[in-house]
């Protein structure tokens, strides 16, 4: 399919969608009711509804009776681990296989014109990004996600936290379910800002950013401390009355949803004439420039705090101005410190 219908490539061959990324009109001021109504289906489709479906499948088929979950036993926890690993293998693996192994659409719609390099890179286990990322995903990502899931489900089953039933308060639970994606964004923004502070970046978050040109396996390729923080989003259900299904949904938004920003392609071709958008651009720019787009644009945190990058030349200029101002501040501070020590 002709990618120039939807975007352009710069001199270095990097693809950019024609339309700059836009934060969801949810918090637009002044309000834009028509834009909001038009956008609303995208809040649910395709991803949030898909994660709700996978969560419902786990809730219905992969878990034993409540009495068994009330006993923290290896059997059901291991089964949950296996189911989560299988979901990741199917979803991430499908994207990886089609787009990166088979390279079914070449670099059409691929932001970075290069595929992750096959050359040995000492930053990665066994020198390879794909092997390192997959090992981290299945060896750390999925187990830490499952550990949080098991703790929260056990807390519900053992009666440690209030379990609201759908029969009892359907509208409360529906309202909570709708808000969970927004909560995920707020939680992710906070922990993401935190791990970009110099000490935590160096020792924790740099592991994720080693994949400068990410692929689907990079999604959950993180340091264990980052994974513990990332999946702590499920702790919400230990604090507000909820339902176990919603806790599983919350973890699927985080665990399976991580792939969305790491697909690396702006669109996925389905046949010759159709290419569906992926929503990967905003987080791709985070991997490219590091200090922009800490959130995904659903809640405009980056706009509010001056770190939004929509891919436009204006955003590029704003980012460069911010870096220059920071450098000058550092220079001035160093000069002042030098002057003070000289005077002492
Ligand atoms: Zn990332
Ligand atoms: Zn980051």
**What's the 336 CA to ligand 1 centre distance in angstroms?**
37
| Nearest ligand (C-alpha, residue 201) | 2
Nearest ligand atom owner, CA of 292: 2
Work out the pLDDT band at 338, boundaries 50, 70, 90.
Answer: confident
Task: Label residue 23 by pLDDT band (50, 70, 90).
Answer: confident
d(CA 250, CA 161) in angstroms, rounded, equals: 17
Which of 16-25, 90-99, 281-290 is predicted with the least confidence, judged by mean pLDDT? 16-25
% of residues, the chain, pLDDT over 70? 98
Ligand nearest to the CA of 226: 2
Distance 289 CA to ligand 1 centre (A): 11
Q: Which ligand is nearest to the CA of 211?
A: 1
- Average pLDDT, stretch 310-319? 93
Ligand number nearest CA of 191 is 2
Q: For residue 56, how far is its CA from the centre of ligand 1 (angstroms)?
A: 26
pLDDT in tens, 37-80: 999 998 888 899 999 999 999 999 999 888 989 998 899 999 99
How far apart (Å, rounded) are the C-alpha atoms in residues 116 and 124?
12
How many angstroms is it from 261 CA to the middle of ligand 1?
7
- The stretches of the chain forming alpha helices (DSSP H) are 33-44, 47-57, 66-69, 74-95, 129-136, 142-157, 170-194, 198-200, 206-209, 224-230, 236-239, 244-255, 281-289, 301-304, 313-343
Q: Are strands 267-270 and 274-277 parallel, antiparallel or unpaired?
A: antiparallel
pTM given for the model: 0.93
Q: How close is the Cα of 330 to the center of ligand 1, in Å?
A: 28
Distances (CA, A) of 279 to 23, 144, 184: 11, 26, 16
CA of 36 from ligand 1 middle (Å) equals 27
**C-alpha pair distances (Å), 108 with each of 2, 15, 16:** 8, 9, 11
* Span from the CA of 290 to the centroid of ligand 2 (angstroms): 6
Residue 75: what are its φ and ψ, rounded to 5°? -50, -60
Asked whether residue 344 carries a pLDDT value surpassing 60, the answer given is no
- Residues 139-167 pLDDT 10s: 999 999 999 999 999 999 999 999 999 99
Relative to the alpha carbon of 282, which ligand is closest? 1
């Amino acid at each position: 399919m002709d990618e120039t219908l939807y975007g352009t490539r710069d001199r270095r061959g990097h693809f950019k969608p024609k339309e700059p990324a836009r934060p969801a009109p949810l918090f637009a001021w002044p309000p834009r009711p028509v834009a909001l109504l038009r956008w609303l289906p995208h809040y649910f489709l395709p991803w949030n509804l898909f994660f709700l479906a996978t969560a419902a499948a786990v809730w219905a088929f992969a878990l034993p009776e409540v009495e068994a979950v009330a006993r923290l036993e290896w059997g059901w926890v291991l089964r949950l681990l296996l189911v989560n690993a299988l979901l990741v293998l199917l979803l991430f693996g499908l994207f990886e296989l089609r787009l990166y192994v088979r390279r079914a659409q070449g670099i059409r719609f691929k932001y970075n014109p290069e595929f992750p390099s096959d050359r040995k890179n000492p930053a990665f286990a066994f020198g390879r990004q794909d092997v390192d990322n997959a090992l981290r995903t299945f060896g750390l990502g999925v187990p830490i996600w499952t550990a949080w899931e098991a703790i929260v489900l056990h807390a519900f089953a053992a009666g440690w936290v209030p379990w609201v039933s759908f029969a009892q308060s359907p509208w409360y639970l529906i309202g909570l379910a709708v808000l969970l994606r927004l909560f995920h964004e707020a939680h992710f923004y906070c922990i993401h800002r935190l791990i970009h502070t110099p000490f935590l970046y160096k020792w924790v978050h740099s592991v994720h950013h080693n994949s400068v040109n990410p692929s689907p396996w990079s999604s959950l390729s993180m340091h264990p401390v980052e994974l513990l923080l990332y999946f702590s989003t499920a702790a919400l259900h230990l604090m507000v009355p909820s339902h176990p299904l919603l806790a599983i949904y919350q973890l699927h938004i985080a665990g399976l949803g991580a792939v969305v920003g790491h697909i690396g392609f702006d669109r996925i071709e389905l046949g010759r004439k159709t290419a569906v958008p992926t929503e990967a651009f905003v987080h791709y720019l985070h991997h490219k420039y590091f200090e922009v787009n800490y959130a995904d644009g659903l809640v405009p945190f980056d706009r509010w705090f001056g770190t939004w990058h929509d891919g436009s030349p204006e955003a590029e200029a704003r980012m460069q101005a911010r870096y220059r101002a920071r450098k000058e501040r550092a220079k001035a501070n160093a000069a002042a410190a030098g002057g003070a020590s000289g005077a002492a």
